[in-house]
Amino acid sequence: MKIALINPNIVSQKVDLSGSGIPYMPIGLAYLAGYLREQGHDVNVIDAFGEAYDRVRSDGPYYIQGLTPEEIFNRIPSGIQVICFYAHLTVIHNSLLEIIRFIKKRLPECPAVVLENINKVNSYSLRQVYSDFFKAGADYVVLGYLEKRTQRLLDAILKNGPADKHDGVITRNNHDSFMPPHDFSKAVNLDELPFPAWDLFPLNNYWKLGYAHGPLTTEKYLPVLSSRGCAYNCGFCIIPEVCDRKWKGRSAQNLVDEITFFGRKYGVTEFHFEDVNPTLNKERTKEFCQLLIERNIRITWKLAQGTKLESLDSDTVDLMARAGCNYVSMSPESGSQRVLKLMDKPVNLEHAVNIFSSMKQKGIYTQACFVLGYPGENDADLRETARLVRKLAKTGVDEVGLFIITPMPGSKIYGQFLDKFQKLNQLTFTPKWRKDYKKVSAFRKSMYIQYVLIKMLYHPIRMLGYIRSLLTKRFRTKVEMTIFRKLKVAWLAHSSRMA
């Protein structure tokens, strides 16, 4: 079949410095493209962001980067049989609906499939919002692992068979009785999947940006997805719903093979791990590091999205550093054990401090992420978080991320906020619609100021290094890169208006 895979625009909230506007390379879509091509399909990728990253238009409180709906439509090849839309982040929801409406109005007979992204904490569970897509004109929604499920759906479409008989597929005509995905409880071998089809994506444009999700130190990078899912049940996270609290990892050998393959093909030496819990299997982490060392594969790699800090110890950290790891994001989430219990997230805070300290000693740059404004959190809890942030600053953590909680569809807390916001694209980590936003935001600003002052006092040389990294655009932390990104997007928006 002749298939179009559409990666939508990047949407950023103008005042948000946290999660929106980040140019995640669509690795889930690249995996699907590779798999469908291996099955014999004619796969055509339209990357609405990547093909026009330098064009920015203003839409109220948001910037939209990339092609317009009309330009996306004009890139659809003639004879296309199925169009798939990647619903990769919550903040792009309204923009994606606009694209679907525009295309379906002009190609009403072409089946439209919406694909779920299970690999990002700021994505969303489509089983919560599928009706929006059907109202926009979509015919199918695919949940969970996309590769084999999308292939089965395409077979059903080709043969005019019943698509709703397959698990994890929601259809326009039978959406009230769909079967949830089953593959999380099965022995899915991720090593059997082909590598992402990056040759179908405009990689050079992503590299021209000069920024990424993880701190970009070289001119080229590629994301890596070493696992899928997570075994934990954090109340603010969508992953427990979209992956049924199951974690599946690729083998260390398969990971090294991919890194070697793309390193040779594209000359890439920097890799950003984008799974939510890449080090859950400690033995796999050690084997991966040992293979890199034994084969003398000289790369740098970063755990950009985060990992469970309890899965690490000082020996593993030492091995990671020797194998080329130079950045790790981890999430204590709160300094209050009471709030951590409310979140249903087990965290050993003493171990967290020790691991951050160990990474500093080994030369690994670190980020500590915290959630503010979780339901039930009080002033005493915030004071405990403030104490932990100050302690980590003294320890030498390179940056902190303070995220005001927002209820992503599929998280356990989503239902508590349904009557609080109006549109899904408001669900960013700068949720100005919250009644307590000013209070929590003021606390966040205060903590950032305290953090910077403590760092200047205890680690002045390191602080000067951050400034140098910003000026040279060889970023060591996300903060430096975020400053550059916000300035560049604002300049691109200005240039686009003047054009």
pTM score: 0.96
Tell me the pLDDT tens digit for each residue of 96-149. 999 999 999 999 999 999 999 999 999 999 999 999 999 999 999 999 999 999
- Give the mean model confidence (pLDDT) for residues 220-225: 98
Please tell me the distance from the alpha carbon of residue 269 to that of residue 299, in angstroms, as a whole number.
5
pLDDT at 187 exceeding the cut of 80: no
What single string gives the DSSP state of each residue in 288-309? Answer: HHHHHHHTT---EEEEEEEE-G
Are the beta carbons of 115 and 32 closer than 8 angstroms?
Answer: yes
Are the beta carbons of 376 and 342 closer than 8 angstroms?
Answer: yes
**Domain 212-494 belongs in CATH node 1.10.1790.20:** no
Q: Where are the alpha helices (DSSP H) in 267-348?
A: 282-294, 314-322, 337-343
pLDDT at 274 exceeding the cut of 70: yes
Task: Read off the tokens for 34.
Answer: 């590779």
Q: What confidence score (pLDDT) does residue 190 get?
A: 95
Ordered by start, the domain boundaries in the chain are: 2-185, 212-494
Please tell me the distance from the alpha carbon of residue 373 to that of residue 403, in angstroms, as a whole number.
9
- What residues are paired with 346 via a beta bridge? none
- Quick one: pLDDT band at residue 160, thresholds 50, 70, 90? confident
- What residues are paired with 142 via a beta bridge? 115, 169
Residues 6 or more apart whose Cβ sits within 8 Å of residue 466: 398, 476, 477, 479, 480
Q: Where are the alpha helices (DSSP H) in 396-459?
A: 437-458
pLDDT at 176 exceeding the cut of 70: no
pLDDT at 186 exceeding the cut of 70: no
Are the beta carbons of 13 and 21 closer than 8 angstroms?
Answer: yes
Question: Quick one: 2-185 is in which CATH superfamily?
Answer: Cobalamin-binding domain (3.40.50.280)
Please tell me the distance from the alpha carbon of residue 129 to that of residue 110, in angstroms, as a whole number.
22
Q: What confidence score (pLDDT) does residue 161 get?
A: 76
Task: Read off the tokens for 291.
Answer: 């293979």
